[in-house]
Amino acid sequence: MTPPEGPLPLGATIGILGGGQLGRMSAMAAARLGYRTHVFAPDADSPGMQVATTHTRADYADTQALARFAAAVDVVTFEFENVPAATLAALEGRVPCRPGLGVLAIGQDRLEEKRFLERAGVPVAPWAPVHDESGLAAALERIGLPAVLKTTRLGYDGRGQAVLRDPADAAAAFARLQPKPLVLEAFVPFVAEVSAIVARGADGAVAVYDVTENIHRHHILDLSFAPARIPPVVAEAARGHVRRLAESLGLVGLMALEMFLLADGTLLGNEIAPRPHNSGHWTMDACACGQFEQHVRAVAGLPLGDPARHADAVMGNLVGPEGLAAWTGLLAAPGVAPHWYGKAEAREGRKLGHANLLMPLDSLAARPAGWRPPVFAG
């Protein structure tokens, strides 16, 4: 449907597909800007439902529930990129959706994503689609080893991928990884992983946050340092990449680009996420306008906020079950802004919350290699 002219009026309702922490923090930001929220998700007592004005608990394929949802909200966004495309398609005729189906579809499929990155001038590691075992042999021939075999859909936090070091690893990984098709990527000998977040408003204005350096543990984001310790030209290139992506998509909303940094300063695009991103959580406390508020501003047709960083920050993820044990200590720690998601269980490997350690502007540049803030020890 044609998007509304001008900003959503105060008191209007933003519909959010997905009930996770990204929707929760978007709903909290929306409330601060004077909007109501309506979360649509299949799971009971989800983090987003706990704070939204109202919610619908229904399957993403429930067309009657979707029709009622469309009638009850003024605009729709999503916090989870695996919302079925058919769900957004069912809504798009009835209510403005930001971002739209085209953006969602690219973010859901690693092959589409790589083609899109290449078209937009963001280089990626050599890759080849793998539809069957003969395709796997051909891809291995072309890409070589080590390589990473990934599902093209539904992967997250390192689930749905396997590192191949030996030709003998390939057949078992191919059999295990579901759903097909897969994609084989060259293993990237990166010196750092960085990400950049961009928002683009309905008026075409663009805001880009400072580049973040990300450390993973067991394939799950562990720490994000803002700013990344990279040469200014590399930071400018990363910001330029994400800005170009937003512009070439005609994005109205927020998106993140994960990148690998090579020793020679080259940046390779890894994946995009057309929604607030875990590596942008530091912006909640270290910027006048954090990524969730920025997301809401874009979706609501408001002018974008100021993405400038007023402090250095280290974001530490609180992952179950250790994250629960760390919570009380973080509440008492100076300079720490804690965020809890309200998940029902502190299950192994689940993100339960995060905390932002704020530090004086430009103090992080002097950190020793491998430094971990003591407050996030263990």
Scan for tokens 């989870």, then name that residue: 80
Exposed/middle/buried for 161, CB within 10 Å: 0-12, 13-18, 19+?
A: middle
Of the candidate spans 92-100, 137-145, 148-156, 317-325, the one that interacts with ligand ADP by CB under 6 A turns out to be 148-156
Instruction: Please pick, from the candidates 10, 142, 156, 165, the single residue that binds ligand ADP as defined by CB under 6 A.
Output: 156
CB of 317 to ligand ADP, least distance (A): 13
The residues in 94-133 that bind ligand ADP, with binding defined as CB under 6 A, are 125
The answer to whether 262 and 189 are in contact (CB under 8 A) is yes
The C-alpha atoms of residue 190 and residue 280 are separated, in whole angstroms, by: 21
Position 117, amino acid = L
Of the candidate spans 154-162, 166-174, 228-236, 302-310, the one that interacts with ligand ADP by CB under 6 A turns out to be 154-162
The residues in 220-249 that bind ligand ADP, with binding defined as CB under 6 A, are none
Tokens of 281: 């959580």
Position 348, amino acid = E
Using the minimum distance from each CB to ligand ADP, give the nearer residue, 155 or 342: 155
Does 143 bind ligand ADP (CB under 6 A)? Our answer is: no
* Straight-line distance from the first to the last Cα atom of the chain, in angstroms, rounded to the nearest whole number: 49
Position 283, amino acid = T
Using the minimum distance from each CB to Mg ion, give the nearer residue, 110 or 297: 110
Using the minimum distance from each CB to ligand ADP, give the nearer residue, 32 or 216: 216
Three-state DSSP state, 238: helix
Three-state DSSP state, 140: helix
Query: What character string, x for contact with ligand ADP (CB under 6 A) and - otherwise, covers 177-196?
Result: --------x-xx----x---
Instruction: Please pick, from the candidates 3, 129, 135, 155, the single residue that binds ligand ADP as defined by CB under 6 A.
Output: 155
Position 231, amino acid = P
Task: Give the footprint of ligand ADP on this chain (CB under 6 A).
Answer: 125, 148, 155-158, 185, 187-188, 193, 216, 219, 258, 270-271
